Amino acid sequence: MAKTAAKPSKKKGMKGTSRTSLALVSMMIPGIIYLIINNYIPMAGLVVAFKQFDYAKGIWGSGWAGFGNFTYLFKTRDAFNIVRNTLLYNIVFIILGNIVAITVAIMLNFLKGQTNKKVYQTLILIPYLISMVVVSYIVYGFLSMDSGFVNKMIMAFGGTAISWYTQAKYWPVILTIVHLWSGFGYSSIVYYATVIGIDSSLYEAASIDGANVWKQIWHITLPGLRITIITLVLMAMGRMFYSDFGLFYQVPMRSGLLSSATDTIDVFVYKALTQLNDVGRSSAAGLLQSVLGFIMVLSANLIVSKVDSDSALF
């Protein structure tokens, strides 16, 4: 009953909107044209992934390669290694990254005084704005053999200097720390924006009812953040098969010996393709990453909609 009643009014509403906001809609046209030209038309180029690309014949004239361009991704022994690295790093980054970001966002909320908040917000955002090339030298400043801060400390306490850039075992930890340091500011500000949107009367009511700070966080702040958390995690999961190229390529200073711990799909593909200069294969890798990422988003969203349909993206 409710449905049939709602329908005509909705229709009427739509009609009304489209008429009055024709001007607004027309303002969308440049943006849509831009999106079509820049994001949709080039998708036709994905066909290159299935082609034996020949520069003289162009995209459409080149012969078909079937799935031939994809095989190198699976034939190498590194395939397992790079997929494992990409997924595990991303899982760790998503979990730890969100925990740190939420913690910081809540801490920001407890700060007293506008100046304090502004100063801290700016300070924690700075690492996010630093280029990975610069970050790699900051890390080098800590880990260098000759003059690195860490090795100097170790030697001051009588230890022997560690050659960080030749031993892969340290790098999962180092890269995680670097990633958290450079990324937490940005995501905590996203969370903070939600935290300050939570109705303050809820907190007042809770404190009158005798809830302490921890209880307030657990029962008010975190539930208030739920949708933001789900959205951000879903978006991060869509990029599970991608990695921060700068982090994995620049920060280890391209030391080959670390590659078992630092090669992700992006880095591996970059290295392989700068050697072979093969357009077909690089598109194949990109296409595969997109398709897998798309599947990840769909399945994660499916799970969320089963558990809590209001929070799902679509």
Partner 1 sequence: MKIRKFLAIALAGAMTLSLAACGGSGSAGSAGSGSGNAGGGSESAAGAGESTAEVENVVVAIPTFFDVKDAQMVADAINAISAEKYGVTVTLEFIALGNWAQQTNLLLTSDEVDVLAFYQTPLTTFIKNNQALPLENYVANASDEFKAVWSDAELQGTSMNGHIYSIPNLRNFGNIRGLDIDENIAAEFGIENGQHMTMDEVSDFLYAAHEKYPDRYAIVPQAGSSMVSGWTWDGLGDGKFIGVLEDCGQDLTVKNLFDTDDFRDFCSYTRKWYQDGLTMADALSNTEDGKNLIRAGKAVCCLENYAVDTAEGCIRTIIIDPWAVSNSYAELSYGINTNSSKPDAAWKALEMFYIDKDICELLTNGIEGTHYTVNEDGTTTFTESDGYQMAAIAWVLPYSGYAHPMAANGPTYFEDLIEFNNSCAKSKGLGFAFDSTSVANQYTACCNVMDKYYTAIMSGTVDLESTIEQANAEFEAAGLADIIAAKQEQLDAFLAAQ
Q: Pick between residue 223 and residue 256 the one whose CB is nearest to partner 1.
A: 256
Closest CA to 294 of 311, 313, 277, 279: 313
Judge contact between 301 and 234, C-beta under 8 A: yes
Q: Pick between residue 76 and residue 116 the one whose CB is nearest to partner 1.
A: 76
| 248 is a contact residue toward partner 1 (CB under 8 A) | no
| 22 is a contact residue toward partner 1 (CB under 8 A) | yes
> Using CB under 8 A, which residues numbered 144 to 163 contact partner 1?
144-146, 161, 163
Question: Using CB under 8 A, which of 50, 53, 191, 248 touches partner 1?
Answer: 53
Extract the tokens encoding 62.
Answer: 């080149």
Q: Pick between residue 2 and residue 56 the one whose CB is nearest to partner 1.
A: 56
Question: Using CB under 8 A, which of 27, 41, 123, 291 touches partner 1?
Answer: 27
Q: Pick between residue 3 and residue 169 the one whose CB is nearest to partner 1.
A: 169
> Using CB under 8 A, which residues numbered 57 to 116 contact partner 1?
57-58, 71-72, 75-78
* Residues 161-200, mask of contacts with partner 1 (x by CB under 8 A): x-x-xx----------------------------------
> Using CB under 8 A, which residues numbered 259 to 278 contact partner 1?
259-260, 263, 268, 271-272, 274-278
| 117 is a contact residue toward partner 1 (CB under 8 A) | no
Task: For the beta carbon of residue 22, count every other beta carbon within 10 angstroms.
Answer: 10
Q: Pick between residue 70 and residue 241 the one whose CB is nearest to partner 1.
A: 70
Query: Looking at 41-49, 242-250, 255-263, 286-294, which segment touches partner 1 (CB under 8 A)?
Result: 255-263
Q: Which positions touch partner 1 (CB under 8 A)?
A: 22-24, 26-27, 29-30, 33-34, 53-58, 71-72, 75-78, 140, 144-146, 161, 163, 165-166, 253-257, 259-260, 263, 268, 271-272, 274-278
